[in-house]
Every structure is written in structure tokens, then in C-alpha cells.
Amino acid sequence: MSLRSKALALVEVLLRVPPLFVVDEFLKISLGLPVSAGEEVSVLSNITDDHVDISDTEAIYYDATFYNAFAFILLKFLVCCLGCMSALCVFVLYTKHLIIVYLYLLSLGIVFVSYWTNVSAIKQIQALTLAATSTQPSVSILEDILNLNLKSLLDLDGPGILVVQNFAIQFTLSVIFRNVHLGPRHQTLQKLLPITFMAPSFLAMLPVPPNLLHHSPVFSALLPLCLVKYVLWSSAYDVIHVIYAGYQHGRLFVSNFGLSALVETEWIRLNIPCVLRVFWVLRVAEHAMLLLMDNYDEDSDEGLKVSTLLAVQSLASMAKSLLVTGCETITAVLGMTSVISFFCHYIGSFFQWILLTDEEEDKSIGTVSAILFYILALQTGLTTLNPEKRFVRLCRNFCLLFTALLHFLHNIVNPMLMSLSASHNPSTHRHVRALGVCAFLIIFPISLLVYLWSQHTISTWLLAVSAFSIEVIVKVIVSLMIYSLFLIDAYRSTFWEQLDDYVYYIRAFGNTIEFCFGIFLFFNGAWILLFESGGAIRAVMMCIHAYFNIWCEARAGWSVFMKRRTAVNKINSLREASVQQLDRLDDVCAICYQEMHSAKITRCNHFFHGVCLRKWLYVQDRCPLCHDILYKIDNDPTKDNNSEDSNEDNSDNQNILLDDEDPDLLLGEGVR
């Protein structure tokens, strides 16, 4: 991407940031309405009055306060919704329409800045003129200019300097307005605009009546304001047409490609992650500037003598304050989520660089981390907590997120370990890199657990973090044990029939531990839901966890167990080859191409390793060489009529693939 393209992309991102600030400010508005002190006093005075009944007072209070408060809250809610909707509509506009909106807002802002600048300058000029007339005869600025009264004109506290400053400001504003306004650009209007902006400054130089000079800023703003109003009314049809065209485009796109395709397309077009990151960084920078200004004022009173310890404490307090304010609204949480996704992506890229891998599937760590953090924020009600509790909850969410990140790193290193051991890779440095990452995935969770249990009392959050950490340790140990078995098998000169059983038992042990932790986490979440902090989002997440991590895992594990048991029973029904038969055959197994010291004989008189044949049965029930039935269903001759049906059933099952979690699939033909 060229430098010009990068600059245009950055400008487009910056153009979409202000609508997010508008939404953020609307979300900060509280919908509550406390009772005012005057109302409380009036109610108390009515209660103490002997001629007013208490029930009547309560009715008056209810009618005068409750309904007014409800109407005011409803009005604020509608205004906030309208403001958020308008800002989001501006956010999703195409770049050309977005520029038009900003040009209109800029021209409108220039009109108001010009008006308030003129008002401020005229007030100061009138005050200085009034103070001067009390000591000397009234002399206008124009007379000073004609008389070349440089002393009065160059007086820094005099009205002449104010007029010159206002001249410069209004001329600059008029030039900007002439170039950015979207109204008709007639030559006469373009020439009148600078005169209109600078008219109050001209009048301030003349000996005009104070009342006329006082109202001159209003008249100077009429022409540019009329142009802005004309643009607004003349563009109303275009605005409605753009909104309707966008609606039609979205509706047609959804009907043709689906809602998910529309969301993905708009996500890429708007560059939402980058926009959210820029918004959050600017938002945090704004709060940091305010905190620095406050600290500077406090330090200036104390002589700017701050020790190193106090400076560190001040930085820690500032960081805590920035983190708290950085997640006080939904938009702020989205921005923080995007920043966390950015850092997690590069953490994953760092470990990919260590492992010398570049798998595309492993690059989704940033997306997964963002989704997990945002779900945790919604689940724990992060935006509704007070600052102190919000900081504690945020730290806990970060801890949970990092333990989940360790699981993702294990998913990256585990296939690497299996590949290195099964493919007999002689590259020592790749083995060292993978083992180093595994060591980190064991040492860091243990250190984290030691620190957390020494600094915090037992709680549901601590139990959840501990479960996640122990689970990742168990998964890494299981991966290392299987990696060791594969390495031992790689240096063996003979076929190792028990390898498949050992791998199955190790994986079964690890999967059982993970399943038990899944049940434990479900009950831990149920306790939190019932007794600590409930909520619809937490209930939905618990249902998802119960289905995917408990029910689906239990069903998959039981399916693997039944497949294995069925395959073992089928293999046991086959004849065992004798040593004389193997010597007479003098051949290798057609599945793994290894020498046969023991073998099973199929109905079609083909010889295979029992372990290889068992793994083949996970795929289909026919011979790998002649595609005949591998085993007999029933030896009863009276049921031969059903053999064709059995053959059809077996042929229907020949395309059944082994589940991804099945450990035996990893020991297939490619391993040998």
C-alpha cells in the first residue's frame, strides 16, 4: 500500500471517530431524576401545615413530582435515542456523503464562532470605551487612525488592539466559510461574506450609537446563517433519498447473500476495529490530559516537589483512573475490546514466530480474545459498576482472558508437537522452540495460581481461574506425553502395537479431566447466577457452556468409546495369523507398510496388523484391498437372506469419518 493510500485510509478512519464520541456522550447521560431541594421543602411545609391532610400532600407530591419526572426521563430517553441513531447513521455513510456532512457542520460552527467572537469583542470594546470616556473626551478609533494617534492605537489595553484582533479572526473565518459552505456561490454573495463577517469590527471603529453596536453581531450572522439554513432545507430530499437508498441496498443484499454477508461487508468497508481503536486511544488521551492538568495545578501549589515514590504512585493512580473511565460506556468497552484484540493478535503472532508456523487458522486469536472480553464485560455488568468495583472486575476479566489466551496458545503448539514427533523431523531447534512454549504454558499458570491464592481469599472467580489454569496444565502434559510416545516409536525398529492403546488412554485421561472441570465450572457459574450476580447474559452463556462443553463433549466421548469397543469386537472375531502363515506370506501390512510379526486374517484371506485394521474400521467395514466384508455378522445359516441388507448397511457406513477428537485418527497411515 502506497503512502497516499495509507494517508487516505487514516483520514477516512478519523472522519468516522466523531460520531462515536457523540454516541459516547449520549450514553453518559443519566436517566434518573433526583428530587430537588425546593420540592422537598415545599412538601415538608405542606405536611407540617395543620390545614392540609397528609394523604392530600402525598397525592400532590405524587402528581407534581412523579409525572413530571417520568415525562422528563422519557423526553431524555427519546432525545438520547434520536441522537444515537443520528450519529450511527452518519457513521455508516459513504466517504463522499460523510465529507458533505462535515462541511455543513463546519460551516454552521463557523457562523456560531463568528457570532460569539463578535459579541465578546464588542462587549470588551464598549467596556474600554466607557472607561475611557470617564477620564477624557470621547474619541473614536477612526479619529485615532486619521490623527495618527499611535499611542492610543498601539495600547495593548486599548480598544484598537481588540478591533485589529477581531478583524483578523473574522477575516480568517470568512475565508474558511467561503470555501466550505455548500450554498449557492454567486459572486455577489461571495464578495459580501467577508464584509458581513467583519461588519461589527467596522462599526466599532465609527462613532455609532452603543445600541446599534451591541446588536451588530446579530445582523452580521444573518447572511451566513441564511445560507446554512438554505442548504439544510434544499438538501432534505437528498438526505431522505440517501437513507432510503441505503435501506434498499441493505435489504437487497440480505435477500441475495444473507445478513452475515452484509455485516461482514460493512465491517470491512467501515474498518470498524481500527475506528474503535482510534476512538478509544483519543478518549483515553483526553482523560489523561485532564488528569495531568489537575496534577499540574496541585503540584504547582506545592512547589512541584514530588518524590520518586509519589510520582510512581501518581502514575499508578492515573493508570487506574484511565482504565476505569476507559470502560464506563458501551462504546468505550467496544474501543477497549478492539485495543485488546490488537495486542492479543500480536501476542499470537509472536508465539507463531517462535514456533516458526504461519497457519491462517491460528491468526484468529485477536478475534476470539475480543469476543471473549466483550462477553465477560456484558456478563459482569462492567459499565454499571462504581469505579472501584469496576477496576476490580476489569482486572479479574483480564485474568480470565489471559488464561483463555493460554488455551489458545496450546492449540497452536499441540499440532506442532504432533507433527514434529510423527514426521521424524530432525530439526532440533524446532523441537526446542515447541518445548520452550510448553514450559511457559506450565510454569506461568503455576506461578499465577501461587500468586492469586496467596493474595486473595477463596471466591468463585478464583476457583474459575484456577480451573482454567489447571486445565491448560493438564492439556500441555497430555500433549508432552503423547509427543514422547511418538518420539520413542520413531526410534524403534519394530512395529509398536501398544502405541495406539497408550495414546488412547492418555487422551481419555486428559479429556476426562477437562470434562470434570467443565462440570465444575457449570456449577460455579450456577452459584454466581443464583447468589452473586444474576443476569440474562450469564444465564444464556451457562446454557451455551452446558450444551457445547458438557453435553456435546460427553456425546462425542461416548461415541469414540463405542466406536473403539465395536472395532475391538470386530477385530477379535477375525482369525489370528500363525507364525508359519506370516513366514509363508513374507509381506508387509497394506495399510501401514510395516513388517508383520502378528496379523489378523480377513474373510477374503488378506493379512493386516490388528491395530491398523481397527483404525481402518473407523472409516469403513470393507477390506482395503478387495472391498469385501471384513468380518461375519452372524454365523447362523438361516440368516443368509439378510446378508444383502447387511452389505447395504455396511456400504452406507463406509463414508463415516472419525471424529476430530478421536486419538486413533492421529495414528493413521500418515504416521507410519
Please report the pLDDT score of residue 107 as a whole number: 93
Closest to 666 in 3D by CA, of 497, 418, 431, 426: 418
- Per-run averaged pLDDT (10 residues), the chain, 672 residues: 81 92 88 45 41 45 62 84 90 90 93 92 78 53 58 59 83 92 86 89 79 87 90 88 89 91 91 94 91 65 49 77 90 94 91 83 80 90 89 92 92 88 77 93 94 91 93 94 86 75 87 91 88 81 87 87 77 80 82 80 83 75 78 45 40 36 36 32
**Closest C-alpha to 204, from 264, 144, 160:** 160
| DSSP tag of 593 | -
In contact, 623 and 595? CB cutoff 8 Å? no
The single residue listed with the C-alpha cell 481503536 is 277
All residues at 6 or more sequence positions from 648 whose CB lies less than 8 Å from its CB, including other chains? none
Tell me the DSSP string of 316-350. HHHHHHHHHHTTSSHHHHHHHHHHHHHHHHHHHHH
pTM for the predicted model, two decimal places: 0.76
Q: What is the pLDDT of residues 221-277, one digit of tens each?
A: 999 999 999 988 888 888 888 889 988 998 999 999 988 899 999 999 999 999 999
Q: Is 413 left (phi over 0), alpha (psi -120 to 50) or beta?
A: alpha
Cell of 566: 465395536
Helices (H) and strands (E) in the chain, counts: 27, 3
Query: 423: Cβ–Cβ under 8 A, 6 or more apart, which residues?
Result: none
Sign of the Cα torsion 512, 513, 516, 521 reads negative
Q: At what angle do helices 460-490 and 387-422 cross, to 10 degrees?
A: 10
Residue 268: phi, psi to the nearest 5? -75, -40
- 111/173 Cα distance (integer angstroms): 8
Tell me the pairing of strands 607-608 and 600-601.
Answer: antiparallel
Asked whether 582 and 597 are in contact (CB, 8 A), the reply is yes
State whether the Cα torsion 107-110-112-118 is positive or negative.
negative
Site of grid cell 450476580: 533
Amino acid at 252: L
pLDDT at residue 435 in the model: 93
In the chain, what is the straight-line distance between the N-terminal and C-terminal CA atoms, in Å?
46
> For residue 143, what pLDDT is reported?
57
- Assigned CATH for 564-671: 3.30.40.10
326 and 283 in contact (C-beta within 8 Å)? yes
The C-alpha cell that represents 90 in the structure block: 452518519
Kind and range of the H or E run holding 575 = strand 575-576
Q: How far is CA 289 from CA 276, 277, 283, 309, 653, in A?
A: 20, 18, 10, 22, 68
Cell 439378510 maps to which residue?
642
Q: Do 614 and 624 form a contact (C-beta atoms < 8 A)?
A: no
Euclidean distance between CA atoms 124 and 115, whole angstroms = 14
Alpha-carbon distance of 671 to 648, in angstroms, equals 31
C-alpha atoms less than 13 angstroms from C-alpha of 160 in its C-beta half-sphere:
17
Task: Please answer whether residues 571 and 613 qualify as being in contact, where contact means their C-beta atoms are separated by less than 8 angstroms.
Answer: yes
pLDDT at 420: 85
* Cα–Cα nearest to 238, from 91, 109, 108, 97: 97
Say what the pLDDT of residue 66 is. 62
**Which residue from 293, 295, 284, 356 is spatially nearest to 320, judged by alpha carbons?**
284
The b/e string for 109-136 (b: 16+ C-beta within 10 A; e otherwise) is ebbeebbebbbebbeebeebbeebeeee
**Phi, psi of 559, rounded to the nearest 5 degrees:** -65, -45
Cα(564)–Cα(632) distance, rounded to whole angstroms? Answer: 18
Output the nine-digit C-alpha cell for 268: 470491512
Distance CA 394, CA 297 (A): 30
Q: Where in the chain is the domain with CATH 3.30.40.10?
A: 564-671
CB 160 within 8 A of CB 154: yes
Task: Give how far Cα 327 sits from Cα of 218, 291, 321, 331, 641, Å.
Answer: 43, 17, 10, 8, 72
